[in-house]
Structure formats: C-alpha cells, structure tokens
Amino acid sequence: MNPRTLLRHVSVALALAVVAHAAPQRTLLLEVADVPKAEQVKGGRFFYGDYDSSRIIQVVRNRALLLATPEELAELRQAGYAPKVLFESTDRLQLYRRAEYGPEMKLSPVYWRYDQILKKAAALARAYPNLITRFQIGETQQEHRPIYAFRISNQAAQPQDRPKVLFDGVHHADELMGAQIVTALMEQLVTGYGRDKAVTAWLDTLEIYLVPVVNVDGHHVVTSGHDPRWRKNTHDVNGDGVTGVYPEGVDPNRNYNFNWAMGGTDNKEGSSYRGPYPFSESEIRAMRDLAEQVHPTLAVSYHSQGEVIYYPWSWGGKASPDDAVIARVAKEVASHLVKMDGSGPYAVSPGGPSSQSYAWYYGHLGIVSMIIETGLGAHVLPPEEVAGIVQTNLQGARALLAQAAGPGLSLRVKDAATGAPLQAEVWLPRIDDETIDRRTSDATFGRVHRLLNPGEYYVVVSRPGYATQVLPAVKIGPAGWTAVEVALTKN
C-alpha cells in the first residue's frame, strides 16, 4: 500500500471513529413513566430539545419516549428509573415510526390526511354554498400538488370590502395540529352560521381565509406513514433525483423575504435550511401572493410545540412599532388557550425579526400576525391529546376573530375624478419607522384596516402621480372601526 493510500485509509478510519464517538448507535426505544418536572427542563436528563431528537423523541405528560444504547438503559435503571423497552432495531427510521405512530406503525386516524380535509371542505361547500369557497393559491415545489385556500363569509363567492383574517397550518410537515385546528375552525364557522351569534356576526362582517395545509408534500410524508420526523418540504435540494430521504428539503418557515439571511441555516441538511434564496419555494410564494392579494388585518399560523404565542418582535432589544397593539392582541388570544396540564394560559413572547411568516406579514404588509405553538413535548402529539388541543385553540381563534372588530382605522383611498379605488401608501409617521415597509391600501377596494389603540393619529396618504394628503388629527374611538375616505387628485 503506497503512503497516499495508507493516509486515506487512516483518515477514513479516524473520521468514522469520531462519528461513532459523537453519535452512539441507539437501538432501543424506551418508555419512561413519571418523569419528574425537574428533569424535563434544559439541562435535565429528559429535556425535550425540540429538533435535537437524537435521544429524546417526546416527553408528554411526564411520559418520555427516548432512544438508548444498552449501556444507557442500564444507567437509567441504576438511577432509579424503570424504563420499558418498547422496540429494538438497528433501523433508526423504524424506531421513530414505532415511537410516533404506535405499535401498528401507522398514524392514528384521529389525524386527517389532506384528501380527507378536502373531502370535508367539499361536503361543507355542498351543504352551505354561500358560506365557503375553495380556490387554489399555488402548488408544491416538488410534487406539484395543489395548495388550496378557503374563503368563508356570508357572501363567500366573491371578495368583499371587509376586514380579513387569515389562519394557516402545517408550514412544518410534522406539526400536524395546525391542519386539525384550521379544519375544525372551518367546520365550526360554516355550520355555526345562523346558530351561533358570534359566528353569524363574524361571517356577516368579515372575510375569513383558511389554509389548512401549507406544506402539502411534507404533510403527506408524515400522514402516509413514510417518515414521522419530516419537517421541511420535499424539495430535491441535492438534485440527485431521489426524494423522500430524510433530512432533505427546505424549511418553509425560514423562506420568507424579511431578513431572510438572519434566519435558519444555509446547511442543506439542517432542520431549518432556509433555501437558496428568499421565496425560492412555491409553497411560500403561494402564501405571499395570497397575503398580498387579500391584505389580512390579522393572521395566525399554527405550529407545534411549546404552548406559546410568538409575535413580532424583539429586534436588537427593541419592540416593533405596533408593539402596544400586537402584544395586547396576543395576550388576549393567549388568555383563552389552556395548557395541556391545565396549569394556566399559553405564554406570550416577542419572537425574532427574521425569515418567518409572522415577521414578513407584519414587516412587509402590516398584518398583526403571530405563530401559536400548540401542545407540549412532541410535534406529532399522541392521538389522545388532539381533541383537547383543538378545542382550546378554537377558543383562541374565536378570541382573535373578536379582535377584528377594532378599534382601528378603516381608510379607503379613491381617485377624486373617477371614484376608482387606489392602492396608496397610508403612513402613520409617529408610529412607523425604518424597520417596517410602508403600509398600503389594497388594490381591489383601496382599503386598509389598521388596528390602533384609541387616540389621535397623524396620517399621510400618498401615491405617485397624485397630490399627497395629510390628515393631522384622525381620532380613533374606544371601539369599532373609524371610517375615513380619502380622494386623491392627480398632479
């Protein structure tokens, strides 16, 4: 063997030794009951590190599922625990399937597949054709599956000049609760019209948009039983023509174009790989186009896990320009969300300002947006937990819809000569700053709905080719929408 070949063999051996030392082959799936709370926090033996699942797969209600070597099993027993061996295999994927799908290695029928969601929506549309309309907003990056949104109102066939609220689920493939909550909300809204006083008022005065599944390809990977670990979409990022091999894909919720380079990672195998450039993924272009078209006033994206609401933002230690309003709304929604253990409401926290849906929605369009992390201790939550998490989040959704009644500014911009609606900048210079894009009225109705706390506001309305108008003292009352109409005259 020549020296160069010998050196190559030695290098490979050393590399394998390092890998083996860093990641021991865990072949046992263990169940440990009655895990102390003190051992579930960071630094504890059973801390659930979200996407660091090399050992701990889930910790739900003091019951832990984890991977272990025979030596680690012995250590747990020596420490006084009574671990139960559920499964043994050298195939890591099989261990995860057994952990997340149960003894039958199949996802519980409690969780809906995408085709089942569409069938449920179709049945609602047949029964209530005036209240719900389906339309396609795009298709998936890899498999070109259609991505559908649903518009709900008392006149759902056509867009209306009303405040709009957007709910979406499953940016991340394994966070199935979003699809469950949004689909349940769809059914509650449509069937509750004329029966539930609040629902009837919402459908008479709002437009509600639902996207049950953003990441349709990834959702299929998880719900089909292929791989419960899947988080990203199924984009063949290495270009080898082979898909469905973990951990390929792009993280859809790190692909938005707001401080994109600050979020996620550029490592293609990383769980939060942000993609090659902003809006590279068709799933996120679909959400971008929908948001820019309808201009929601409020938006929620459902994720798992953590029992916390994140909202924009904490950026260099500074809150967002609309923090007083956004934090108030987030706290009101959180107060209706009960944790799985019944110990109290969900937490509320400003999140980072980068590459995720809520940061882009707010930073670019001015939408009061938030991410709700549902459930605790798992992404694919145990089936017996699903109904309770859905029910409490329906209460949170109702609290959010109630916020769409204001107080705030409802301003319409039109051409003074023709009366045609205009898309124009609507700027509040004593609130807005350089961290956010200028807010605009929508192109369809010339309308902007902006939630504000009661008070007096300085408003500037401008559009290229038209004379700017300044409204120095717009008074926002304690409730409802303050309606203002601005007619711009061409220069």
* Residues 391-448: tens digit of each pLDDT: 999 999 999 999 999 999 999 999 999 999 999 999 999 999 999 999 999 999 999 9
E strand or H helix at 426: strand 425-427
CA–CA distances in Å: residue 14 to residues 8, 9, 10, 170, 265? 10, 9, 6, 41, 27
What pLDDT is attached to residue 24?
Answer: 79
Please give the Cα distance from 110 to 220 (Å, whole number). 15
Query: Is residue 23 included in any domain, yes or no?
Result: yes
Please give the Cα distance from 360 to 191 (Å, whole number). 33
**Same domain membership, residue 143 and residue 95:** no
What pLDDT is attached to residue 49?
Answer: 82
User: Per residue in 449-482, pLDDT tens?
Assistant: 999 999 999 999 999 999 999 999 999 999 999 9
Alpha-carbon torsion angle 244, 248, 253, 259, nearest 10: -160
What pLDDT is attached to residue 51?
Answer: 73
Instruction: Describe the strand order of the beta sheet including 469-476 as a list of residue ranges.
Output: 425-427, 455-462, 469-476
What is the per-residue burial (b if ≥16 Cβ within 10 Å, else e) of 310-348? Answer: bbbbbbeeeebbbbebbbebbeebbebbbbbeeeebbeb
Nearby residues of 180 by Cβ (< 8 Å), 6 or more positions away: 111, 112, 169, 386, 389, 390
**Same domain membership, residue 412 and residue 267:** no
pLDDT band at 13, cuts 50/70/90? very low
- Name which of 35-44, 126-135, 378-387, 412-421 the model is least confident about: 35-44
What's the average model confidence in pLDDT over 297-316? 97
What pLDDT is attached to residue 21?
Answer: 46
What pLDDT is attached to residue 22?
Answer: 55
Query: Is residue 152 included in any domain, yes or no?
Result: yes
**Same domain membership, residue 243 and residue 210:** yes
Query: Is residue 107 included in any domain, yes or no?
Result: no
**Same domain membership, residue 382 and residue 470:** no
Nearby residues of 248 by Cβ (< 8 Å), 6 or more positions away: 232, 234, 235, 236, 237, 238, 268, 269
Give the long-range contacts of residues 415-420, CB within 8 A, separation 24 or more: 415/487, 415/488, 415/490, 416/487, 416/488, 416/489, 416/490, 417/489, 417/490, 420/446
**Same domain membership, residue 265 and residue 197:** yes
Please state, as a whole number, how many other Cβ atoms lie within 10 Å of the Cβ of residue 36: 12
Q: What share of the chain is helix, strand, coil (3-state, %, to 5)?
A: 30, 25, 45
pLDDT band at 53, cuts 50/70/90? confident
Query: Is residue 106 included in any domain, yes or no?
Result: no
**Same domain membership, residue 434 and residue 477:** yes
pLDDT score of 17 more than 50: no
Domain containing residue 145: CATH number? 3.40.630.10
Please give the Cα distance from 146 to 399 (Å, whole number). 31
What pLDDT is attached to residue 104?
Answer: 92
Is the model's pTM score more than 0.75? Answer: yes
What beta strand segments (E) does 110-171 contain? 132-139, 146-152, 164-169
Domain stop point among 68, 101, 134: 101
pLDDT score of 23 more than 50: yes
For the chain, give the mean pLDDT. Answer: 94
**Same domain membership, residue 76 and residue 171:** no
**Same domain membership, residue 384 and residue 313:** yes
**Same domain membership, residue 256 and residue 164:** yes
pLDDT score of 157 more than 70: yes
Q: 């320009």: which residue's tokens?
A: 321
Domain stop point among 385, 403, 421: 403
Domain stop point among 403, 437, 456: 403
What pLDDT is attached to residue 412?
Answer: 98
**Same domain membership, residue 76 and residue 18:** yes
Please give the Cα distance from 398 to 355 (Å, whole number). 27
Please give the Cα distance from 213 to 196 (Å, whole number). 26
**Same domain membership, residue 48 and residue 18:** yes
Question: How many Å separate Cα 447 from the centre of its chain?
Answer: 26
**Same domain membership, residue 353 and residue 462:** no
What pLDDT is attached to residue 2?
Answer: 45
Q: Residue 489, exposed/middle/buried by CB under 10 A (0-12, 13-18, 19+)? A: exposed
CA atoms within 13 Å, Cβ hemisphere of 404? 28
Domain count for the chain, please give it.
Answer: 3
State the residue range of the domain holding 248. 114-403
User: Per residue in 321-352, pLDDT tens?
Assistant: 999 999 999 999 999 999 999 999 999 999 99
What beta strand segments (E) does 2-71 contain? 28-32, 56-60, 63-68
In one letter, which amino acid is 55?
Answer: R
In one letter, which amino acid is 52?
Answer: D
Please give the Cα distance from 340 to 60 (Å, whole number). 9
Query: Is residue 42 included in any domain, yes or no?
Result: yes
What pLDDT is attached to residue 169?
Answer: 98
Alpha-carbon torsion angle 80, 86, 91, 94, nearest 10: -130
What pLDDT is attached to residue 20?
Answer: 41
User: Per residue in 163-214, pLDDT tens?
Assistant: 999 999 999 999 999 999 999 999 999 999 999 999 999 999 999 999 999 9
Contact between 170 and 212 under an 8 Å Cβ cutoff? The reply is yes
Query: Is residue 218 included in any domain, yes or no?
Result: yes
What's the average model confidence in pLDDT over 33-47? 93
Domain containing residue 412: CATH number? 2.60.40.1120
Please give the Cα distance from 457 to 285 (Å, whole number). 34
Pairing of strands 298-303, 368-373: parallel
Query: Is residue 126 included in any domain, yes or no?
Result: yes
pLDDT band at 54, cuts 50/70/90? confident
Query: Is residue 69 included in any domain, yes or no?
Result: yes
Please give the Cα distance from 84 to 76 (Å, whole number). 11
Nearby residues of 194 by Cβ (< 8 Å), 6 or more positions away: 200
